[in-house]
Amino acid sequence: MSEHRPDWYGRMKAGPFRERTFTEECMKEIGRKARDGGRRSRSGMWMYAASGLAVASVLALVLVLQPVGWFGTKPSMTMPTVTPQATPLPTEGPKPMIGDFYAKGETGLYTAPNPHTKEAAVFTVTTGVPLKVLDISGGYAKVNQDGNAGWMNAWYLTKEKDEAPVDAVEPYLMFAGSAVTMSVNPEEMEPSGPEVAPGKVVKVVKEFQDWVGVDIVTYDQPYGGELWLRKSELMDWDPAMAMEGVLRQGAVIKDISGREIEVPWFNSVFVEEKMANGRYRIRSEDGITGFVDGRDFVPNPFIAENEKRRLLLSAMTENWLMTSEEIKGYERYAASRDENLLRGLSPIQIFRYYVQAQLNRDEKTVYALLIQDEGFTVPDYDTYINEISNDTGLAQRTWRMWDRLMMGYRLGEEVESGQATITIRPTFGGTVEDVRGFQLLRNKAGIWKVAWLPMQ
């Protein structure tokens, strides 16, 4: 019936779903079943069960013998591949599983089989150490590892001691280019986690094949469970594109009528609109909507969490972010690179200028902040720029480094005559080896400048 096809017919060419729903994993499963020969399919099994023959024992055996399949991405398609045992287990009450299991990667144990909890993990299971499975509920398994019991995401269970394909990685940022629904574990066919809006910032903390495990800032309800996405569903970090972050201390937030409103400066905010005049319409984590100067927005919501923790510590710790006033001073300096504008600034203030210049990819300002007095070895500007532009991944690595540090480290300032060290140490915990130092030197004019290779 090809006569006058309606306009909207063309829109049906793609879809119905954006993502492939018949996945590699489906194909493998079917291929395996085809090779296995005459094994009964799921619907066959159901017919068998419905015929009244040992319904309970069939189901119990499936649960006992193939736990990972039941909790994995395709719970309905996995059949037992092990010879059934003579004594079926009951279908009611706890459903323990026989033998030792292991974790595919480090993951938290919780007090309940529910990710929507404010409670932190009570224990982190480690890989290569046997787990006893005591019960199952939904996608969660109650386990015991060395006397520590709790509920974990059952996708992590494996029978292979040496199989630990989930890697914990140094946290780094990415963002959602478009709205995307998250999964509660990798390989989930129908993502069942929360949906995030375009521009949402995620912190990657784990990797598994082409999947990444992420942390997000949640506003409406607590979420303690894991969240996973295909890496291809996210965009490489670009601060200019991220819509979620924090406001600088001292940022002035105005409501629609121009009245100033107060929002705690370390609250996370989401940019709802970037307007042509350089102002942003934002919504804070407590639901307040207002307008701010775009330069007062820092695109990294995870700094807020670190700031809150930092504030719990001594007053000796310094802020990572420039205040709203300081950023204006920085912009004046970056426009002219007039050294006189640095006069009177403390080492930590110069340090913040340097970080900001790197985040802005403003290499001229970065270079201008280096100490260039006689007697100090600094490459000339052309050599410096040349080296930087030859290293294509440098900007991303630099962003990653500062973002990671801002999310979990606190700053201190130690001054000794003409030298200063900015100490960067984990906000909580960590060892002496985790402490980094950033060197500054006072030049002949008495102005603090950054030492060449300051973090070596």
Q: Any contact of residue 50 with another protein (CB under 8 A)?
A: yes
**E strand map for 96-225:** 102-103, 107-109, 123-125, 132-137, 140-145, 148-153, 157-158, 167-176, 180-181, 195-196, 201-208, 211-215
CB of 28 to another protein, least distance (A): 9
Applying CB under 8 A, which of residues 1, 120, 256, 432 lies at the interface with another protein? 1
- What does the DSSP assignment read for 167-196? EEEEEEEEEESS-EE-BSSTT-SS--S-EE
Q: Return the range that interacts with another protein (CB under 8 A); candidates 66-74, 303-311, 328-336, 344-352.
A: 66-74
Q: Do the Cβ atoms of 445 and 358 come closer than 8 Å?
A: no
Q: Return the range that interacts with another protein (CB under 8 A); candidates 88-96, 156-164, 167-175, 440-448.
A: 88-96
CB of 189 to another protein, least distance (A): 7
Tokens of 356: 């900001």
| Sheet containing 448-450, strands listed edge to edge, beginning at the edge strand earlier in sequence | 409-416, 419-426, 436-442, 448-450
Would you say 95 or 310 has its CB closer to another protein?
95
For Cα atoms 300, 304, 307, give the angle at the middle one, nearest 5 degrees. 125
Q: Any contact of residue 236 with another protein (CB under 8 A)?
A: no
Q: Return the range that interacts with another protein (CB under 8 A); candidates 75-83, 238-246, 252-260, 430-438.
A: 75-83
Would you say 71 or 367 has its CB closer to another protein?
71
124 beta partners: 108
**Interface pattern 264-303 for another protein (x via CB under 8 A):** ----------------------------------------
145 beta partners: 148
Burial class (CB in 10 A: 0-12, 13-18, 19+), 54: middle
For Cα atoms 57, 58, 61, give the angle at the middle one, nearest 5 degrees. 80
Q: Any contact of residue 26 with another protein (CB under 8 A)?
A: yes
Applying CB under 8 A, which of residues 31, 294, 426, 430 lies at the interface with another protein? 31
CB of 154 to another protein, least distance (A): 8
Q: Name residues contacting another protein, limited to 160-179 (CB under 8 A).
A: 179
Nearest to 298 by CA among 330, 276, 259: 330
The residues binding another protein (CB under 8 A) are 1-2, 5-6, 8-9, 11-22, 26-27, 29-31, 33-35, 41-43, 46-47, 49-50, 55, 59-60, 63, 70-71, 74-77, 91-92, 95, 115, 136-139, 179, 181, 184, 189-193, 195
